[in-house]
């Protein structure tokens, strides 16, 4: 199963303070929009999403169809294929992509310790 690019999505209290903190660790803004309360920070192949007021807790995020620079991959496992495989393995999903759709879609699950995993396909 190819899950795609990995990042951590952090729920932050102050977007500007968090941005400055991660810049001090060598990250720079890669994508996002301060007006929409989120920024994507990058250092090498490491990605951190900073999200203010959008969700509680932190989320591990995988993006099928993207590499670490958000460039479309020619070959990848579609989120619906991944979802089907997870269901066949009896892994409970918190929400699901429409199995009859194509293109962008997402599903969510939780690991045994309560960590949320988002599989979020944009292509």
Distance between CA atoms of residues 81 and 117, nearest Å: 16
Task: Note the pLDDT of residue 67.
Answer: 95
Q: In terms of CATH architecture, what is 5-121? A: Roll (3.10)
Task: Note the pLDDT of residue 17.
Answer: 98
Task: Note the pLDDT of residue 103.
Answer: 97
Give me the residue spans of the domains in the chain. 5-121
Task: Note the pLDDT of residue 123.
Answer: 95
CA trace torsion 50, 56, 62, 63 (10° rounding): -70
Task: Note the pLDDT of residue 22.
Answer: 98
Q: Within the chain, which residues score under 50 in pLDDT?
A: none
Task: Note the pLDDT of residue 99.
Answer: 95
């Amino acid at each position: 199963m190819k899950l795609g690019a990995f990042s951590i999505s952090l729920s932050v209290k102050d977007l500007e303070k968090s941005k400055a903190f991660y810049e001090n660790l060598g990250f720079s803004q890669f994508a996002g929009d301060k007006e929409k309360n989120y920024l994507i920070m990058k250092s090498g192949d490491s990605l951190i999403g900073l999200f203010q007021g959008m969700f509680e807790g932190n989320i591990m995020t995988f993006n099928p169809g993207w590499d670490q620079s958000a460039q479309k991959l020619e070959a990848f496992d579609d989120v619906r294929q991944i979802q089907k495989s997870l269901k066949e393995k009896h892994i409970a999903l918190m929400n699901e992509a429409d199995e009859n759709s194509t293109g962008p879609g997402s599903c969510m699950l939780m690991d045994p310790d309560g960590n949320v995993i988002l599989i979020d396909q944009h292509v």
